[in-house]
Amino acid sequence: MELFELLKALIDIPSPSGKEHIISDFLEDFLKDMGLEIYLQDVGSGRKNIFAYKGEPLIVLSTHTDVVSPHIGYSEDDEFIYGRGACDAKGVLACQIKSIERLIEAGEDDIGLLFVVGEEYGSDGARKAAEIPNRCVYLICGEPTENRLASCTKGGLRFELIARGRAAHSAYPEEGDSAIEKLINICHDLLKLRLPSEDRFGLTTLNIGVVKGGTHSNVIPALAKAEVMIRTATDSNSIKRCIESVVKDRAEIEYHFETEPVSLMTMPGFEHAKMSYTTDIPLLKNWGLPLLIGPGSPLSAHSDNERVSKDQLKKGVELYTRLIMELKSLA
């Protein structure tokens, strides 16, 4: 299957986090047809990670099979391919497959692919994949970097704020206690907060991504929640102390996900850049020294106009192939 044809097939399979079953089945069959050995790892609810390999891999290409919602089908023009996952990360996935296919045809072995579920929400796939025995020396993780080797990535801290109040008739607000007003005030204070950072990773940034609360417009709300994601440029504990100093006893805080910033291996002859997102790399420490590279721009990821350049896709295959061969000489 040609590169763009493969990407079309991948994009047109909906695979939001938690519902990666169909794309995993597709990849299992496709990779078997390539002649790879397949290890399927159950992640729960019928979802599975895929470790596909030839020989005893020293170098593994890895990315994730899930995407954010909503699903957007495939389309294209002369320059770009569009659709959910076009750059994050089904374009990456297609390039990685075609690179391994090319290397196998050239007689190479001791290489593999690791495709995990759940990266966009909680990284349960990567946590499980850390249990897979391997002798990998280098892990080449794929995310949109515009085909530049990432010199570092930020960490991530995701938490939920839960504000509680007392319900009452909205005509008599003095009888109630608005959880939404509490939550709004807390969020306002968080957005004004100057969070600690380190120059080598950039600025720590905060996004209030989901807000929920109340039942009806004529009821003082007794409960309100907000989901917050922080891209951390320093250790998580220092960020937590800042958050807790602002929230105090006005709401409960439930931490759901955290990873630390990561410095990454780079190679001469490749363009380098810092990346402001986090990846599964901190959870895959037993898979060798990490590198990060892939086609597509992170500025396009998760947007309604997600896209990837056809030229970057073709170059991505070349770069993965070249990187594997250079790393094999070092392994």
pLDDT digits 0-9 by tens, 159-186: 999 999 999 999 999 999 999 999 999 9
Would the pLDDT of 21 be above 90? yes
User: In b/e form, how buried is each residue of 302-316, taking b as 16+ CB within 10 angstroms?
Assistant: eeeebbbbbebbeeb
- Beta strand 149-153 with 272-275 is parallel
Q: For residues 217 and 104, what is the distance between their CA atoms, to the nearest angstrom?
A: 62
Q: Please name which of 293, 330, 302 lies closest in space to residue 96, comparing C-alpha atoms.
A: 293
Q: What is the CA radius of gyration of the chain?
A: 22
Q: For residues 4 and 137, what is the distance between their CA atoms, to the nearest angstrom?
A: 30
pLDDT per residue as tens digits for the range 240-267: 999 999 999 999 999 999 999 999 999 9
Q: What is the dihedral of CA 111, 53, 24, 227, to 10 degrees?
A: -50
Q: Please name which of 234, 237, 295 lies closest in space to residue 93, comparing C-alpha atoms.
A: 295
Residue 303 confidence (pLDDT): 97
Q: What angle do CA 115, 119, 123 make, to 5 degrees?
A: 105
Report the amino acid identity of residue 180. I
pLDDT per residue as tens digits for the range 38-95: 999 999 999 999 999 999 999 999 999 999 999 999 999 999 999 999 999 999 999 9
Q: What average pLDDT does the segment 222-238 reach?
A: 97
Q: For residues 296 and 276, what is the distance between their CA atoms, to the nearest angstrom?
A: 15
Would the pLDDT of 301 be above 90? yes
Q: What one-character DSSP code corresponds to residue 229?
A: E
Residue 331 confidence (pLDDT): 80
Residue 238 confidence (pLDDT): 96
What is the set of domains in the chain, with CATH numbers?
Answer: 3-153+261-328 (3.40.630.10), 155-259 (3.30.70.360)
Q: Please name which of 17, 325, 274 lies closest in space to residue 146, comparing C-alpha atoms.
A: 274
**Residue 108 CA, distance from chain mean position:** 29
Examine the residue annotation and report whether 28 is marked as an active-site residue of this protein: no
- H or E element in which residue 60 lies: strand 59-64
The two three-digit tokens of residue 214, written as one number: 């109340």
Residue 290, SS3 per DSSP: strand
The two three-digit tokens of residue 40, written as one number: 């399927």
- Please give the share of the chain, as a percent, with pLDDT higher than 90: 99
Please, what is the average pLDDT of the chain?
97
Residue 18 confidence (pLDDT): 97
pLDDT per residue as tens digits for the range 87-139: 999 999 999 999 999 999 999 999 999 999 999 999 999 999 999 999 999 99
Would the pLDDT of 227 be above 90? yes
- Please give the share of the chain, as a percent, with pLDDT higher than 70: 100
Q: Please name which of 34, 48, 37 lies closest in space to residue 110, comparing C-alpha atoms.
A: 37
The one catalytic residue among 20, 105, 108, 119 = 119
List, in sequence order, the alpha helices (H) in 88-209: 90-105, 124-129, 179-192
pLDDT band at residue 28 under the 50/70/90 scheme: very high
Q: What angle do CA 83, 118, 115 make, to 5 degrees?
A: 80
pLDDT band at residue 14 under the 50/70/90 scheme: very high
The two three-digit tokens of residue 293, written as one number: 């590279």
The two three-digit tokens of residue 253, written as one number: 């805080």
Query: What are the beta bridge partners of residue 160?
Result: 227, 254
Report the amino acid identity of residue 244. E
Would the pLDDT of 209 be above 90? yes
